[in-house]
Amino acid sequence: MARDISRMAVIVTGGARGIGQATVERFARRGARVAVGDRDIDLAKEVVAPFGSRAMAAPLDVTDPASWQRFLDEVGDLGPFDVLVNNAGIMPLGAILKEPDEVTRAIIDVNVHGVINGTKAVAPGMVERGRGHIVNVASAVGRLAVADGATYSASKFAAVGFSEATRAELAPYGIDVTVVLPTVVQTELSAGVPAAKGVKPVTADDVAAVIEDAVRSPKAELWVPRWSQGLMKSAQVLPRRVQDAMGRMTHADRVLAEADPAARAAYEERARRATGPRD
């Protein structure tokens, strides 16, 4: 039986933009109570403004466990929380040998520690109530690594592995864990990144729709677009030389290396600011 979203309280991290914003809007329109955590609090407040008392934004640095506790204290009136969407992430691109150490640390801090910190902060309440759902937004490169995004790929592989491990660990307590793996999404994060041949870019709302469906009817792993999951899983059982040849044919092996620097300039500047002092 599909779950009733209108009766749920949901946390969305990185909810001020892109996939996070689309997810907030979907859940709020369906009557859920939604708490948005983001470093850009002014923009996050603009996202929740149309939904009145059913939605609230509060500052959140996902890399800081203490920030998580402050966030939960501030949005506590919307809880107890049934769903956590660990969506916050950054994607600075470039050759690994030229990647500054502070950028490497920031990618791991936001994309990996952010997911871990969120789970540690929110899941205990779910365990007490005997129910809950955690949705971790990863990436297709969490299953298929791509050059010029080595640290990003590593961070998303980590998110996939963490999701699989916590799914097994938390299932006895009535908690579902889903990992969502989008391909190229038409958001600022993917600005200038070309799609592989035969793979049409998806929108933030396409990903949000899959997240909504996962919460209504939990599944372990979902790709966006959905048909890409079977293709990728099938390809992974082929010999490595065949996989490499397919990557060359579709340009999937170099989509990040072929990203347009001019189109990415604004995002790269903002993402790299994540290496600076935390809120």
Contact 114, 63 (CB under 8 A): yes
Q: Can you tell me which residue has the tokens 């966006």?
A: 224
Task: Return the minimum-mean-pLDDT range out of 62-66, 224-228, 272-276.
Answer: 272-276
What are the residue numbers of the active site?
Answer: 152
Task: Give the residue-averaged pLDDT of 18-23.
Answer: 98
pLDDT digits (tens, 9 = 90+) for 170-212: 999 999 999 999 998 988 888 888 877 667 779 999 999 999 9
Domains of the chain listed by start with CATH number: 5-275 (3.40.50.720)
pLDDT digits (tens, 9 = 90+) for 100-159: 999 999 999 999 999 999 999 999 999 999 999 999 999 999 998 889 999 999 999 999
Predicted TM-score of the model (pTM) = 0.89
